[in-house]
Amino acid sequence: MDQSAKRREVPLTALRNGQCGVVTSIKHGHDMGHGRGWGFEKRLMDMGITPGTRIMVVKSAPFRGPLEIIVRGSRLALGRGMAERIFIEAEGQ
């Protein structure tokens, strides 16, 4: 991946309500190999969040609660810890 693309990458949590973005990468927790953390990322992918996927942030629950997002036509609740590991290229400003 080239540098310029990397610079535009922001975590999903940086999006405003109603803003969309395209997933560029999902950060593995490096210490967890293919253990539980991996299983969780697999789940994330199975729920349709893969690189190239367009995500819209609808809103977030208060006090650093989970995000409500729209992915592939369905509504998901996504924990903040996970959302922080999803990097996206934001659309529009």
Partner 1 sequence: MSEKKLVIALAGNANVGKSLSGETNVFVNHNGKWTMNQLKKLVEDVFNSQPVTRIDETDCATPQDLSVVSLNLKTLRTEKSKVTHVLRHRERRNLIQLKTSSGRTLIATQDHNFIVAKGETTKIVDAKSLILGDQLPVVEKLSLEKLEMLAFSDIAWDKIIEINEVNCGDFVYDLVVQGNENFMLANGIFVHNSVIFNYLTGLHQHIGNWPGKTVERAEGTLHFKGYTIDVIDLPGIYSLSTYSIEESVSRKYIAVEKPDVVVNVLDATVLERNLFFTLQLMELGTPMIIALNQMDLAKKKGIEIDADKLERLLGVPVVPMVAIKGIGIFELLEKIIEVAEKGSMVSRVEVRYGEEVEARVARVIKMIEGIQLPYPPRYIAIKLMEEDEEITKEVEKIDPKIVPFAKELAGEIENLHGHSCPTIITSERYEVAGRIAREAQQLVSPKKPTFEERLHTITTHRILGYPIMALSMLLMFYSIFTFGDYASELLSNLLYALEPIFLTLFGTEFLGKLIWGGVMEGVIAGVTIALPYIFPFYVILYFLEDLGYLSRVAFLMDNVMHKIGLHGKAFIPIMLGYGCNVPACLGCRIMETERERLLAAFVTTLVPCAARTVIILGLVGKFMGIQWALAIYAFDLLIILLLGRLAFKTLPGEPTSLIMEMNDFKMPHVKTVLKQTWFRLAEFIKIAFPLIIVGSLTIKLIELLGLLEPIAALLSPITVSWLGLPAITGITLIFGVMRKELSLIMLATLLKTADFALVLTQVQMIVFTLVTTFYIPCIATIGALVKEFGWKKALSITIFEIVFAIGLGGIALRLLPIIV
List residues near partner 1 by CB under 8 A.
1, 25-26, 28-29, 32, 34, 36-40, 42-48, 50-53, 59-66, 68, 72-83
DSSP string, 12-55: GGGSPTT-EEEEEEEPPPGGGTTSHHHHHHHHHHHTT--TT-EE
Minimum distance from CB of 93 to partner 1 (Å)? 24
User: Of 77 and 91, which has the nearer Cβ to partner 1?
Assistant: 77
Cα–Cα distance measured from residue 88 to residue 34, given in angstroms and rounded to the nearest whole number: 23
Minimum distance from CB of 7 to partner 1 (Å)? 17
Minimum distance from CB of 16 to partner 1 (Å)? 15
